[in-house]
A = this chain, B = another copy of it.
Amino acid sequence: MTAPIKSIKVGLVGFGTVGTGVWETLQKNGQLISDRSNNQFKIDIVKAAVRDISKKRIEDAPDTMFTADWNDVVSDENVDVVVELIGGTTTAFDIVAAALKLGKTVVTGNKALLAERGAELFALSQEHSAAIHFEAAVAGGIPIIKAVQESYVGNDIESMVGIINGTSNYILERMTDAGLGYPEALKEAQELGYAESDPTLDVNGWDAAHKSILLATLAYGSVIDPEEVYVRGIERVTSTDIEFANKLGYATKLLSVVRKHSDGQIELRTQPSFIPKSHILSSVNGVFNAVAVKGDASGDSLFYGRGAGKEPTASSVVADIVDAAHTISSGSPHRGFLPYSEDSKVKSIDDTSTPYYVRFDVIDRPGVIADIAQVLANDGVGISGTHSPVDPENPDKEFVDMVFLLHTCTFGKLKATLKKVLALDSVNSEPVVFRIENL
């Protein structure tokens, strides 16, 4: 004779695309989930807070399930797990904090909330022995949180390099493959639903940066101040540089780099970068996401999949709910993340090193290459290659693009040198700089 199956009761705050996906996934695969738990539990959504209670969302959901007040969900004593799906960092904070204070497990996909206010929330999690699960916060349906936290628990994580904003990746791909300009590619992404009507957080790099902060927090055990993170988006990437990259054997990707240095400092930056086309990360196209993880034991690995969307995100939310259900049904301590280390020091961007691509807009006259090369040489910045296309129809063009590929040096050194180059009469405007990533 087996014990009666325990019902784990879930309350959703927010019932939009992802909430509907969670509901549908549990409807479809709820029995499978119970089977896979060896019938330890079943999962029931019992309450959902929505903005407009009059809107009928789901045919087979009882009307009593819905409320306009998130407090009805959080404080419902039947609710074991609170799933926060409204986004933002203000009301969402209040919801998560209130749930934790009641000792309830929280599941959220809110990367901004955890990256901006993780310190407060993890403290509440610790104080009230209530877990925060956030698999959906990074890379949608890709289980990178569990991989870093549990599967690589025996690893000192050396680096994590991610393509973790699908919108940016789609736009850059279309600029590369179809030769579109940034505005056209963005417009297309919006028409296809890959970019929001206000795409700011996607294209300015902050969505990816928030995710990379969470990855660093997981890997190194401490909360990181977003102010210390270097973030550049894709808004100013031009077809000119994408074409040069392509010719030189590189793909242009919005990369988030997390790397632990031997001095213990964490390199943490998000920016459009060049990666060799031969690297598996360059195969990550469209709205797909990927994170390359290097652990001291695991070696190089890559996790690839859908970084957003109703079902993939629901897949991760449901996995978190099931983790919570295991803990709750057995009464055991949770395995949600808690900080375990002093604050990590983020390496100054000026102290981070890569090779670089630098494009100058120069006046094409004798000696210009020599002049630039001399400034670089004086500062000890090595040149690994140069590229200056000739316009066959206009060989006597006055202004030309002059590309230099530079050996690895610190960003600080590069900036100082470029300032001197800019002082040359023959150089017209601020050079365009891309990092070439060492993967």
> Chain A: residues with CB nearer than 8 A to chain B?
21, 25-26, 28-29, 32-33, 35-36, 38, 40, 135, 141-143, 146-147, 149-156, 221, 280, 283-284, 295-306, 309, 311-312, 314-316, 318-319, 322-323, 326-327, 330-333, 335, 338, 340-341
A221/B297 in contact, CB under 8 A = no
Q: Quick one: copies of this chain in the complex?
A: 2
Most buried by B among A147, A150, A154: A154
8 Å CB contact of A143 from B141, B151, B306: B151
Q: Provide 30 A-B residue pairs closer than 8 Å at the C-beta atoms, listed in order of the A residue.
A: A21-B297, A29-B154, A29-B155, A29-B296, A29-B297, A35-B341, A38-B340, A135-B151, A141-B301, A143-B146, A143-B147, A147-B147, A150-B322, A152-B319, A154-B315, A280-B283, A280-B284, A280-B304, A283-B283, A298-B315, A299-B306, A299-B312, A300-B305, A301-B303, A301-B305, A302-B303, A302-B305, A327-B332, A330-B333, A331-B332
How far, in whole Å, are A57 and B419 apart by their CA atoms in the complex? 57
User: B residues within 8 A CB of A153?
Assistant: 33, 36, 318-319, 322
The answer to whether A319 and B150 have CB atoms under 8 Å apart is yes
* Contacts A150-B322, A280-B280, A298-B315 known; 6 new A-B pairs at CB < 8 A: A29-B154, A141-B301, A143-B152, A297-B315, A302-B305, A326-B332
Instruction: Report the bound CA distance from A142 to B221 in whole Å.
Output: 22
For A332, list chain B residues within 8 Å (CB): 326-327, 330-332
In the complex, what residues of B have CB within 8 A of residue A147's CB?
143, 146-147
Tell me which of B40, B299, B318 contacts A297 (CB under 8 A): B318
* A28 contact from B141, B296, B304, B319, Cβ within 8 A: B296
Q: Please, which residues of chain B bring their CB within 8 A of the CB of A150?
A: 143, 146, 319, 322-323
Q: A143: shortest Cβ distance to chain B, in Å?
A: 3
- Say which residue of B154, B300, B303 sits within 8 Å of A318 (CB atoms): B154
Given contacts A221-B35, A312-B298, A318-B297, contact A156 B29 (CB under 8 A): yes
Residues of B contacting A142 with CB < 8 Å?
Answer: 301
**Do B298 and A154 touch across chains, with their CB atoms under 8 A apart?**
no
Identify A335's interface contact among B149, B326, B341, CB under 8 A: B326
Listed residue (A33, A331, A332) with the most chain B CB atoms within 10 angstroms of its CB: A332
Known: A319-B150, A330-B333. A299 touches B304 (CB 8 A): no
**A152 / chain B contacts, CB cutoff of 8 Å:** 143, 315, 319
- A309 interface neighbour in B154, B299, B314, B323, Cβ under 8 Å: B299
- Residues A306 and B298 in contact, CB atoms below 8 Å apart: yes
Q: What separation, in Å, do the CA atoms of A314 and B296 have in the docked complex? A: 11
User: For the complex, what is the distance from the CA of A65 to the CA of B301, rounded to whole Å?
Assistant: 34
Closest residue of B by beta carbon distance from A335 = B326
Are B340 and A155 in contact (CB-based, < 8 A)?
no
In the complex, the answer to whether B297 meets A141 with C-beta atoms within 8 Å is: yes
Cα–Cα, bound, A32→B219 (Å): 10
Nearest-Cβ distance from residue A285 to partner chain B, whole angstroms: 9
Task: Write out the residue numbers on chain B whose beta carbons fall within 8 Å of the beta carbon of A335.
Answer: 326
Query: Closest CB of chain B to A123's CB: distance in Å?
Result: 13
Once the chains are docked, how many angstroms separate the CA of A312 from the CA of B302?
13
**Chain B residues positioned under 8 Å from A299 (CB to CB):** 141, 305-306, 309, 311-312
